[in-house]
Amino acid sequence: MTAGRVDQADLADILGGYGARISQLENGDGSFPWIYVQPQADDPSPPSPGYFQNGCSNVNPDIGVRFKRVLSWLFLEGGDGIAGYAPNVAVFQLPVNYFNPNRNYPLLASLADGSGSFTYKITNTGLVVYINQGAY
């Protein structure tokens, strides 16, 4: 008797399928909308979630920094970049439930034109801290 072959998928196929399912979820009913980081007129204490702080702003307000949470994933896009940043300075605060309060972790945000990226650290309090900018 010969054993039949079970369909095998490699990791790329599995992750590709998972990514497609997430895309269908996030785009199907609009329940996972992008949140654009907004300019802040003053510097309140504590800072308001979703607003720039410490003098940071979008390089191009028409293509701004944005984020969204899809299930347990946090997506962050860098727009055309951030002005007024400095290494290890908080750029903005994520709203409650958009971050893991039990750990700090790095996050890479691509620039809208694909020319590079920013590396951020998300703290256990939801602060998005700029680390550096680099090319892919």
Q: Considering its fold, how many domains does the chain have in total?
A: 1
Q: What is the predicted pLDDT for the residue at 84?
A: 82
Query: What span, in angstroms and rounded, lies between the C-alpha atoms of 8 and 79?
Result: 38
Could you tell me the sign of the dihedral formed by the alpha carbons of 53, 46, 98, 33, in that order?
negative
The amino acid at 127: L
Dump strand ranges (E) for the chain: 35-36, 57-58, 66-70, 73-77, 82-83, 89-93, 105-110, 117-122, 127-134
Is 72:98 a contact under the CB 8 Å cutoff? no
**Residue 8 resides in a domain:** no
Domain that holds residue 81: 33-134
Q: What percent of the chain has pLDDT over 70?
A: 63
In a domain, 14, yes or no: no
Per-residue pLDDT, 6? 45
* Residue at 41 is within a domain: yes
